[in-house]
Amino acid sequence: MSKSFQRDAFIEEIRAAAEKDSDIYFISADFGAPALDRFRDELPNQFIHSGISEQHMIDMAAGIALEGKKVYVYAMAPFISLRCLEQIKCSIALMNQPVTVLVVGVGLGYADAGPTHYTTEDIACLRTMIGAEIFSPCDDESTREIARLTYTEPSFRMIRMERHPLRTIYTGGFSSENLQSGFVELVEGTSVCLLSYGNSLHRTLEAQKELEKGGIKAGVVDVFRTAPVSHGLLAVMEKYDSVVTVEEQCLAGGFGSIILELLADNRVLKPVYRIGLEERYYFMNGGRKYLLDRFGLSVEAICEAVKQASLTQQDSLPH
């Protein structure tokens, strides 16, 4: 199965649109990606290199957006999200500017650079931005469709992308209907449903296959719009006895919390088991797989959580 870079898929889509639309502007604090270099070479009047000044870049983007332009800002995940929270709030969210913030290298994507380069709490922080849509796509096909949305329907959005290439999951294509719902039920199961997104979704699908070998048919849902989560997801979760969320984040305020809030706010009583990274800073080396396997996100850990959820449901049944 082929693998592709989400970053290149997104930027290539925007560059092609920018060739026909001179109102599209791309601002980057980074260099070196083939798609970035091509955009800069072919459309120099629509590309701005801000230098390593991400906070200034956000303010600049808001100013250009005020002139009626469609603006994209791009940088490494920790530096364009957590470092720029105040600028994102005051310059984009508060003024409701149609700026697309491209966040690249989420979670532990920059292993082994250490905790300064990790974004293991960004969903908890970014989802507090009023009016923001947050997308966390899992492959190149879904990324391209989200990219099209950003220039056909400009709005304040944050797109969380992986630094490394990912296997294509939507080999049959990703439809605009999928995009509107914000989630896709990839595998229909019986009693337990797994919810995930992005890189974590790939591990979740691995776990689903292992569980099926053992006779457990778990459902899998790609919740690629991590905020706001669609109320349509309630109908999917109601088909199952319990829900397991999987995220490459520390759990406080993250994706699992979003799902719990959705259920609670709609008075749906459902057992939810949250799987995420241990609440700590990660200083050790060994690569991303090593860190994920060691600190709570191994395929085995996901399988064990589903088994526990299944056992709990069996125990709760009347005898």
Domain extents in the chain: 3-167, 182-316
Cβ-in-10-Å burial (0-12, 13-18, 19+) of 70 comes to buried
H or E element in which residue 308 lies? helix 299-316
Q: Please, what is the Cα angle at 14 between 107 and 9, to 5 degrees? A: 50
Instruction: Please tell me the distance from the alpha carbon of residue 121 to that of residue 172, in angstroms, as a whole number.
Output: 33
Instruction: Please tell me the distance from the alpha carbon of residue 24 to that of residue 1, in angstroms, as a whole number.
Output: 34
Say what the pTM is. 0.95
**Residue 160 in contact with residue 103, Cβ under 8 Å?**
yes
Amino acid at 57: M
H helix count then E strand count, the chain: 13, 14
Give every residue of the chain whose pLDDT is below 70, as ranges: 1, 312-319
Q: How many CB atoms lie within 10 A of CB 270?
A: 17
Name the fold adopted by 3-167: Rossmann fold (3.40.50)
- At 312 the pLDDT is 65
Q: How many CB atoms lie within 10 A of CB 241?
A: 17
Q: What is the CATH number of domain 182-316?
A: 3.40.50.920
- At 318 the pLDDT is 41
Burial annotation 195-232 (CB, 10 A radius, 16+ → b, else e): bbbbbbbbbbbebbebbeeeebebbbbbbbbbbebeee
Distances (CA, A) of 28 to 51, 61, 64: 8, 10, 14
Q: CATH topology of 3-167 equal to that of 182-316?
A: yes
- The closest alpha carbon to 268, from 240, 302, 310, belongs to 240
The set of long-range contacts for 39-48, using a CB threshold of 8 Å and a minimum separation of 24, is 39/11, 39/14, 39/15, 42/15, 43/15, 43/18, 43/19, 46/18, 46/22
**Residue 167 bridge partners (DSSP):** 3
- Going along 143-288, which residue ranges are E strands? 157-161, 166-167, 184-187, 192-196, 219-222, 225-227, 242-250, 272-277
Residue 174's SS3 state is coil
Instruction: Please tell me the distance from the alpha carbon of residue 116 to that of residue 110, in angstroms, as a whole number.
Output: 10
